Amino acid sequence: MEERIYLDHAAAVPVHPGVARFCRQFPAGFAGNPSTIYQEGLAAQATVAGAREKVAALVGAWDPASIIFTSGATESNNIAVRGTALRNQKMGKRVVTSAIEHISVLNPAKDLQKNGFTFTQVPVDRFGVIDLDALAAAVMPETVVTSVHYANNEIGTIEPIREVAEIVHDRGGFLHVDATDAAGRIPIDVERDGIDLLTLSSNQLGGPDGVGALYIRPGVRVQPVIVGGGQERGLRPGTENVFGIACMGEAARLAKEEMPEESERLRGIRDRLIAGITGIEEAYLTGHPAERLPHHASFRFARIEGESIQLAMNMLGIAVATGSACTSRTLEASHVLLAIGLAHDEAHGSMVATLGRRNSLDEVSRVVSATRETVKRLRAITPL
C-alpha cells in the first residue's frame, strides 16, 4: 500500500522529533510546581523561564517576561482582544479586526458589544490583503484594540503588518496580531513590526497541543479573562503546564533555527504543487500568489464541493483540508472565502494543502494526479 501523504498542517502539526527528544527528559511528564520553593519547584521555575526565553527569541521580544503561556491560540486571542479592550476602555470603546480573522478573534470582538463596544470589521481585497484605506478610516482614537493576523490559515495570505501598525499607532491604540500560522514559517519581529500583542500556538511550531503563548509589549495593560491565582503575572492563573511549556519552548527554538532552510524547501514544494494543480481545468489558486506562507497552497474548483474532494482524496491516501460549509460545525460557508469575494457556490469547492517537515518534492506528482482524478470523478456526477 502506498504511504499516506499528510497535507493538513494548518489543522495539526506532527510533533517535531527534536521536541519529542527534548521532552523525554521529564519522567512521565512530571516537572514540579513552579509556585513552590523546594528543589522540584525551583527546577520547574527554571524550566518555564528557559521556555519563555526561547519563545521570546523567536519573535524578537527583548524581555522574556513579555511572554505569558496559555492553553493555546484561542485563549491567547481571547486575552488579547477581550483583556486589552476591557482593561483600557477609558481610552474608548471600539475594536477593529480584519474580516478574515480566526473565529477566536472575531467572537471575543463580537462579544465585547455586550460591554458597549463598537466592533468594526475591515474588508480585504480578492487576495485577502487588508484594505489599508478602509483600516485607516475604521481605526479611530477611541479604538482600543485592532486585531489583524500575520497570515491567514485558509488562503495563506500574509498581511502588511508594518503598514497596519503605523495606522494603529498613529491613532494611539494597541495592535494585536494573531501569528498562529505565520510564526516559525516567516520571520517575525515584534519590535520591527510594531506589534503590541502577538498570539502563538505551540502545535503550529511543532510542539504539543494545548499550549500557546501571548506576547504583551511591556507597558501594555491587560486584564485576565479567567481569574484565580497569580500565575503568569496574574494574566493566566492556574498552575503552569510546565511539561507543555517546556516542549513549546524547544519547538520555538528549533523553528527559529530551522526556519531559513525549511521555509525555502517548503516554498519549492508549494510552488510545484500550485503549478500542477492550477493546471487542472477550472482550478484556481485562492489567496495571494506571492505574499503567501511558504507551506500554504489553497485552491477552489468550479462545480464541485469541497467535502467530497476531501473524502475522495482521503481514499487516495491524501489528507487535505477544505473550507467547505459541509465540513464545518456550523455548516456555514467560510467567512474567509466569502470575504475575498467568492460567491457561496464557489466557496463550497475549496481545497487547502499545508505542508510540513515530512513532505517532499517526490509527493507532488502523486498529489496532483490524485487531485486531477478526484476533480474529474466528481465533475462526472455534478449537474452544474
Partner 1 sequence: MADQIGYSQKVMEHFMNPHNVGVIENPDGYGKVGNPVCGDLMEIFIRVRDDVIEDIRFRTFGCGSAIATSSMVTDLAKGKTLEEAMKITRDDVATELEGLPPRKMHCSNLAADALHAAIQDFREKQKKEATG
Restricted to residues 123-152, the positions that interact with partner 1 (CB under 8 A) are none
Is 329 a residue that touches partner 1 (CB under 8 A)?
Answer: yes
Q: Which of 137, 315 has the CB closer to partner 1? A: 315
Q: Which of 242, 313 has the CB closer to partner 1? A: 313
Strand order, beta sheet including 350-354: 283-285, 296-301, 350-354
Q: Which of 298, 310 has the CB closer to partner 1? A: 310
Per-residue buried b or exposed e for 303-326, using 16+ beta carbons within 10 Å of the residue's own CB: ebbbebbbebbeebebbbbbbbbe
Strand, helix or coil at 252? Answer: helix
Is 344 a residue that touches partner 1 (CB under 8 A)?
Answer: yes
In degrees and rounded to multiples of 5, residue 322 shows phi and psi of -145, 150
Q: How far is CA 158 from CA 149, 290, 359, in A?
A: 8, 9, 22
Alpha carbon 226 to its chain's center: 22
Looking at the chain, which runs of residues are DSSP E strands? Answer: 5-6, 67-70, 94-98, 118-122, 143-147, 174-178, 197-201, 212-216, 283-285, 296-301, 318-319, 350-354
Selected range binding partner 1 among 204-212, 217-225, 236-244, 311-319, rule: CB under 8 A: 311-319
Among 70, 308, 350, 354, binds partner 1 (CB under 8 A): 308
Asked if residue 195 lies in contact with residue 80, where contact means CB atoms within 8 angstroms, the answer is no
What minimum distance in Å lies between the beta carbon of 332 and partner 1?
10
Is 307 a residue that touches partner 1 (CB under 8 A)?
Answer: yes
Among 43, 91, 132, 311, binds partner 1 (CB under 8 A): 311
What residues have CB less than 8 Å from 99, skipping those under 6 apart? 121, 122, 123, 124, 335, 339
User: 103, 326, 343, 361: which is the annotated catalytic residue?
Assistant: 326
Take residue 249 and report the three cell numbers written for it: 519552548
Can you name the residues that pair with 178 across neighbouring β-strands? Answer: 199
Take residue 211 and report the three cell numbers written for it: 499550549
What minimum distance in Å lies between the beta carbon of 381 and partner 1?
5
Q: Which of 276, 306 has the CB closer to partner 1? A: 306
Q: Which of 77, 334 has the CB closer to partner 1? A: 334
Is 313 a residue that touches partner 1 (CB under 8 A)?
Answer: no
Q: Is 326 a catalytic residue?
A: yes
Among 73, 325, 340, 367, binds partner 1 (CB under 8 A): 325
Neighbours of 218 (CB within 10 A): 9
What residues have CB less than 8 Å from 339, skipping those under 6 apart? 99, 100, 123, 124, 128
Is 304 a residue that touches partner 1 (CB under 8 A)?
Answer: yes
Query: Which x/- pattern, by CB under 8 A, does the window 264-303 give for partner 1?
Result: ---------------------------------------x
Restricted to residues 362-381, the positions that interact with partner 1 (CB under 8 A) are 380-381
Is 382 a residue that touches partner 1 (CB under 8 A)?
Answer: yes
Among 183, 305, 321, 339, binds partner 1 (CB under 8 A): 305
What minimum distance in Å lies between the beta carbon of 121 and partner 1?
22
Residue 45 DSSP symbol: H
Instruction: Enumerate binding residues for partner 1 (CB under 8 A).
Output: 303-308, 311-312, 315, 324-327, 329, 331, 333, 343-345, 348, 380-384
Residues assigned a catalytic role: 326
